[in-house]
Amino acid sequence: MELLTSAVCASFVEGRKHELQRLSDDTMYLPYATSLRMGRLGYQSDAQASLAVSYNNLESYAASLHEAMTVPYHAYEKLGVRAGDEYRQLGTSLLQIENEFYGTIRPKRVIRPGERPLHALRERGVEYVEVRLMDLDPFETVAINASTCRMLDVFLLHCLLRDSPPDTPEELAAIIRNKQRVAARGREPGLRLTCGDDEVSLADWGARVLEECEPIAVALDAARDTRAHGKAVESARARLADAALTPSARVLQTMARDYGNSYVRFVLAQSVRHRDAILQLPFPSDVEERFARLAKESVARQREIEAADTVPFEVYRQKYLDPARLRV
């Protein structure tokens, strides 16, 4: 969430003292933030700020990643791959492997042994889409709840069905700025985002998107004889209209009410609560035995693979990172 421990965030705090509010000795926070992980201190890379990956089609996406994984990056070149026998990194390109691309959504394909993911995409196309921008809900025992999953289904179908003009480097940069604004100030009244050549309020833009999502929710509910998807959209509307209902606001409210405004005490209590709830779930003996067997087989298979290795790591590294392996 948006709450920051002072030990981890000292330099960030020093630069933004005027924005931060202190809850207790172990907790400081940005008053309208929604997500730490999606913000500047989260799953981000300053080095990738110059990387503009186009999603216009598979060819443009692959070309963007190909360049990032084959063109040397000065800071990484300066660091070098090795210091004596110690490896510092795999290579000197901006992206050393495909999974280092910190995109919020990535097209994926199951790869074959030793295959580069980008080669698999280029050769056999997209098999599934990986959605990577979801925070876990600290109030849920496991991950996120069913309503959130249904809203994701509706929204992703909306993205698939809605016309989308080709992206541009300018639009990609604006998207990054919008995401950072929402992560740091998403509950701020009147927050405005960049939409094309205009600035629009988050509330108005969000309301428009949810209105476009409604027919999709209706169709899904009709196909499944339920009202669950419609209710998921209604729940999203309620949180958009009242920021106090968002998970980040609920965290602050719960901390103030029950834990003396201590984030550490809050997360510890939630962790213990979720652990106990999971341990109370039934665990049939046949399921336990099956997982124990699979774990034993997995360890044995790992030993077999490692024992069969005949190529030195440096030879394997150079061969694996050969740009030719990225192409079809």
The reply to whether 174 falls in a domain is yes
Q: Could you identify the residue written with the tokens 């926070």? A: 29
Are 73 and 171 contained in the same domain?
Answer: yes
Beta bridge partners of 87: 82
Residue 83, token pair as written in the block = 């210091």
Buried b (16+ CB within 10 A) or exposed e, 202-222: beeebeeebeebbebbeebbe
pLDDT tens string, the chain, 328 residues long: the values are: 344 333 333 343 444 444 555 555 556 778 899 988 787 777 777 777 778 888 999 999 999 999 999 999 999 999 999 998 899 999 999 999 998 888 888 999 999 988 999 999 999 999 999 998 788 899 999 989 999 999 999 999 999 999 889 999 889 889 989 999 999 999 999 999 999 889 999 999 999 999 999 999 999 999 999 999 999 999 999 999 999 999 999 999 999 999 998 989 999 999 999 999 999 999 999 999 999 999 999 999 999 999 988 889 999 999 999 999 998 8
Are 118 and 195 contained in the same domain?
Answer: yes
**What residues contact residue 14 under an 8 Å CB cut-off, 6+ apart?**
none
Per-residue pLDDT, 22: 56
Q: How many domains does the chain have?
A: 2
The reply to whether 78 falls in a domain is yes
Domain holding 247, by residue range, is 45-251
Are 198 and 61 contained in the same domain?
Answer: yes
Residue 222, token pair as written in the block = 């009709």
Q: How far is CA 313 from CA 72, 79, 306, in A?
A: 21, 20, 12
Can you say how many angstroms the Cα of residue 262 is from the centroid of all Cα atoms in its chain?
26
Based on its alpha-carbon atoms, the radius of gyration of the chain, rounded to whole angstroms, reads: 23
Identify which of 34, 29, 33, 32 has the alpha carbon closest to the alpha carbon of residue 8. 29
Per-residue pLDDT, 9: 39
CATH of the domain at 146: 3.30.590.20
Are 244 and 125 contained in the same domain?
Answer: yes
Are 216 and 315 contained in the same domain?
Answer: no
The reply to whether 161 falls in a domain is yes
Are 223 and 152 contained in the same domain?
Answer: yes
Per-residue pLDDT, 21: 55
Are 153 and 299 contained in the same domain?
Answer: no
Are 140 and 289 contained in the same domain?
Answer: no
The runs of H, that is alpha helices, within 186-246 are 202-224, 228-241
Q: What is the DSSP string of 270-294?
A: HHHHHHHHHHTS---HHHHHHHHHH
Give the separation between CA 252 and CA 266, rounded to whole angstroms. 10
Per-residue pLDDT, 196: 87
Identify which of 165, 155, 210 has the alpha carbon closest to the alpha carbon of residue 56. 165
Per-residue pLDDT, 148: 94
pTM for the whole thing?
0.81
Are 106 and 235 contained in the same domain?
Answer: yes
Q: What is the dihedral of CA 297, 302, 305, 306, to 10 degrees?
A: -150
Q: What is residue 175's three-state secondary structure?
A: helix
